[in-house]
Amino acid sequence: MSDRITEAFAKGQKEDKPLFVAYLCAGDPSFETSLAACRELIEAGVDILELGAPFSDPLADGLPNQLAAQRALDGGMTQDRVFDLVKAIREFSEVPIVLYTYYNLVFAPGEMTYAQRAVEAGVDGCLTLDLPPEEAKTWMDVCDQLGLKTVFIVAPTTPPERVPIIGDATSGFIYYVSRTGVTGERAELPDGLSDAVASIKAQTDLPVVVGFGVSRPEHVRAVGQAADGVVVGSALVNSLASDSDADIAVKALRSKADSLISGLV
């Protein structure tokens, strides 16, 4: 199994360019539209694709992503179909894919079963939102055994002494949540972001990406100057939800992605 995530960050470091990480909810609003949307993002040049597994209780998500999950579930999206979507993407792309999921979805079939299915589909890593490192020992062991990267979160409220614990549990990259609360577009980035990222990077050799609230090209540029990667979710989700006509919505998504990615140039 190739290590697409590590290779992507190594390429970014060599080119002195932060990675653009794009989030969409898998199956929003339908399998076919979701696949078309992922294709557009990949063609736009995203470096890592983060796919949210639609879930009935997405406690880390703001309204745009909650609605996206509901649209996907209403459209018949299931965990099986999430893996089918990854397989379909793998037919035309080797972009690293990270699943943004909740532990119930991992626990229900069993950690080994879930991880095996993810790897077989072509998933590279998992961010399990509500699973802290202190409770993730068996999950980390399974992922290590199968070569599935783990991603854990550092928040503004994380005590400094806990950062090394999170780093030790992480094999892919650290996701720094730029603000407390849930996902969603914001007008401004929080103060002290660069210092916060620098503090994390002083305690780990892992790449650090920043998300939650990044929604404009100038946000992308500012975050990219501090971090190894920039995560954009709600701004893309909102673009895809901007029109009931799938073709128009996917075009709006591509336009938004092009605009945001231009912030890294």
**DSSP 8-state secondary structure symbol assigned to residue 75:** T
Among residues 189, 178, 119, 191, the alpha carbon closest in space to that of 148 is found at 119
CB contact set of 192 (below 8 Å; sequence gap of 6+): none
Tokens 């990270």, residue located:
98
Active-site annotation holder among 61, 111, 124, 228: 61
Active site residue 91: no
Confirm if 126 and 52 have CB atoms less than 8 A apart: no
Indicate if the alpha-carbon torsion angle 258, 243, 102, 83 is positive or negative: negative
DSSP state letter for 157: T
Give the rounded distance of the alpha carbon of 239 from its chain centre.
17
Burial of 5 (0-12, 13-18, 19+ CB in 10 A): buried
Residues facing 133 on adjacent strands: none
**Which one of the listed residues 50, 111, 185, 228 is annotated catalytic?**
50
Count the neighbouring beta carbons within 10 Å of the beta carbon of residue 13: 13
Q: Is 50 a catalytic residue?
A: yes
Burial class (CB in 10 A: 0-12, 13-18, 19+), 221: middle
Q: What is the dihedral of CA 62, 65, 66, 68, to 10 degrees?
A: 160
CA distances from 86 to 39, 49, 82, 89, 223 (A): 11, 10, 7, 5, 28
Q: How far apart are CA 220 and CA 232, in angstroms?
A: 8
Catalytic sites, residue numbers: 50, 61
